[in-house]
């Protein structure tokens, strides 16, 4: 079953074309990595998937519903590239605010909040104001918020920026566990060892899909030992 379907999507801002004829699917229970250098169109595509950005051509559907669609949002956990946090609140107050916003049942809120905060190793920092969190702690809090409503689909834009290697490994262990529970996960990343952990990769370059497939398939197809080398190879052939 396709959880996300992206068909011939195009998007421009003024005269600048950001996405051109982008197509791919994400199935139930898989982790797909959207990989590409800065300016390749990853964040614009992510925003189109969650309904924050309307496409100019083609279509985006999530759970068989065209996006944007407010009803579908309750099934999506989204973590933006930049943290949108209320700095005056404590982390616990922040999580409770979003639990209410996401309509998490009242009798489940405390349990869900604690579980999400434990996952990102912040359960001992819940009373602290967000303004006193480090950059890495803010990223972890944003991830906890994305997990709060137990979503069927997680869309994570650069989720591990500023997070230390030990915790990054733990987070990826949890993402794998969520996948095994049937969750679908779309993750954008610059970190190439994270790309290797994905079931499939969609390589985006200059707003178009350069290639897609499993990490091993792509390395075999391009006869290279790293995902990063595929982009370098492509750029070199254009130069």
Report the CATH number at residue 58. 3.40.50.300
Nearest in space to 202 (alpha carbons), one of 45, 2, 53, 10: 45
Instruction: Give the model's pLDDT for residue 80.
Output: 86
What residues make up the domain containing 168?
2-238
Q: 76-79 and 31-35 as β-strands: parallel, antiparallel, unpaired?
A: unpaired
The Cα 70–Cα 144 span in angstroms is 21
Instruction: Give the model's pLDDT for residue 237.
Output: 57
Instruction: Give the model's pLDDT for residue 83.
Output: 75
Instruction: Give the model's pLDDT for residue 162.
Output: 77
Instruction: Give the model's pLDDT for residue 42.
Output: 92
- Give per-10-residue mean pLDDT for the chain (239 aa): 94 95 96 90 93 95 93 89 86 93 90 91 93 89 90 91 83 89 92 88 94 93 87 64
Instruction: Give the model's pLDDT for residue 238.
Output: 56
Place of tokens 């906890």: 144
Instruction: Give the model's pLDDT for residue 213.
Output: 95
Domain count, the chain: 1
Whole-model pTM: value is 0.89
């Amino acid at each position: 079953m396709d959880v996300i379907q992206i068909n011939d999507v195009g998007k421009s801002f003024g005269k600048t074309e950001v996405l051109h004829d982008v197509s791919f699917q994400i199935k139930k229970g898989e982790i797909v990595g959207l990989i590409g250098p800065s300016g390749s169109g990853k964040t614009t595509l992510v925003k189109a998937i969650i309904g924050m950005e309307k496409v100019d051509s083609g279509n985006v559907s999530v759970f068989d519903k065209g996006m944007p669609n407010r009803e579908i949002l309750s099934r999506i956990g989204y973590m933006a590239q930049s943290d949108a946090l209320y700095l005056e609140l404590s982390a616990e107050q922040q999580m409770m605010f979003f639990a209410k916003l996401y309509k998490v049942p009242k009798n489940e809120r405390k349990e869900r909040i604690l579980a999400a905060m434990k996952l990102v190793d912040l359960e001992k920092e819940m009373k602290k104001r967000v303004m006193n969190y480090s950059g890495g702690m803010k990223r972890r809090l944003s991830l906890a918020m994305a997990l709060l409503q137990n979503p069927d689909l997680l869309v994570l834009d650069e989720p591990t920026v500023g997070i230390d290697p030990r915790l990054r490994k733990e987070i990826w262990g949890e993402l794998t566990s969520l996948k095994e529970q049937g969750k679908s996960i779309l993750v954008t990343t610059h970190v190439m060892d994270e790309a290797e952990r994905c079931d499939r990769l969609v390589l985006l370059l200059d707003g178009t899909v350069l290639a897609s497939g499993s990490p091993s398939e792509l390395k075999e197809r391009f006869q290279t030992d790293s995902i990063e080398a595929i982009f370098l190879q492509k750029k070199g052939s254009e130069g």
